[in-house]
Amino acid sequence: MNIKEKVAYVQGLTNGMDINGETREGRLMLNVVDLLDDMADVIESVRSQHDDLEVYVESIDEDLTQLEDDFYDIDTVEMEDDFADEDEEGIDFVEVECPSCHEAVHFEENLLHDDGEVEITCPNCGGTVYDSELEMTEPAHIAGTRHPGL
């Protein structure tokens, strides 16, 4: 039985006992039962609000986790490995011709293998050069080339 059901049971008992408000004890008993009923209403309201807040906080937590995953997409271990490879071997770059302005665009090859959504735009015209959601022709490699500005 929940708290509202228990209060209803006590109210039924007081009605069955023919307790009236004419005596001091009767008034006390009826006021206590009314107080219990009011308290049960407040407790049920607080429980309902608590459940709503719990769902809302879980939703915020999921959204925050998604934002953190999107913002901090680079794994720190992979990042440290990338810097170690850069110092030892250099960085492999890809050259792609922009379909809009036909300028050569260079970017790191590892972006081609990224599991996330990747879109690379031309710095000259702003057109899309590479989109991981679309198929692309095989880019030319510029293997081992170091470009400190890129």
**DSSP secondary structure string for all residues of 49-112:** HHHHHHHHHHHHHHHHHHHHHHHT-S-HHHHHHHHHHHHHT---EEEEE-TTT--EEEEEGGGG
- Are 87 and 64 in a shared domain? no
Last residue of a domain, one of 41, 71, 101: 71
Last residue of a domain, one of 27, 55, 71: 71
Sheet with 93-97, edge to edge strand ranges: 104-108, 93-97, 140-142
Residue 30 lies in a domain: yes
| Integer Cα distance of 50 and 42 in angstroms | 12
- Are 80 and 45 in a shared domain? no
Residue 149 pLDDT level (bands cut at 50, 70, 90): very low
Last residue of a domain, one of 71, 99, 123: 71
What range does the domain containing 125 cover? 76-142
Could you report the per-residue pLDDT of 138-148, keeping only the tens digit for each?
444 333 444 44
Show Cβ contacts of residue 84 under 8 Å, excluding neighbours closer than 6 positions: none
Among the ranges given (62-66, 127-131, 135-139), the one the predictor scored with the smallest mean pLDDT: 135-139
Q: With pLDDT > 90 as the criterion, what percentage of the chain qualifies?
A: 33
- Are 62 and 83 in a shared domain? no
Residue 25 lies in a domain: yes
- Are 84 and 100 in a shared domain? yes
Token pair 């490879």 in the structure block, residue: 85
pLDDT at residue 144, as a whole number: 42
The number of domains in the chain is 2
Residue 150 lies in a domain: no
Token reading at 107: 């970017």
The pTM score is 0.42
Could you report the per-residue pLDDT of 87-118, keeping only the tens digit for each?
445 678 888 888 888 888 888 888 777 777 88
- Are 89 and 128 in a shared domain? yes
- Are 64 and 85 in a shared domain? no
Residue 148 lies in a domain: no
Token pair 């679309």 in the structure block, residue: 134
| Integer Cα distance of 52 and 92 in angstroms | 51
pLDDT at residue 71, as a whole number: 79
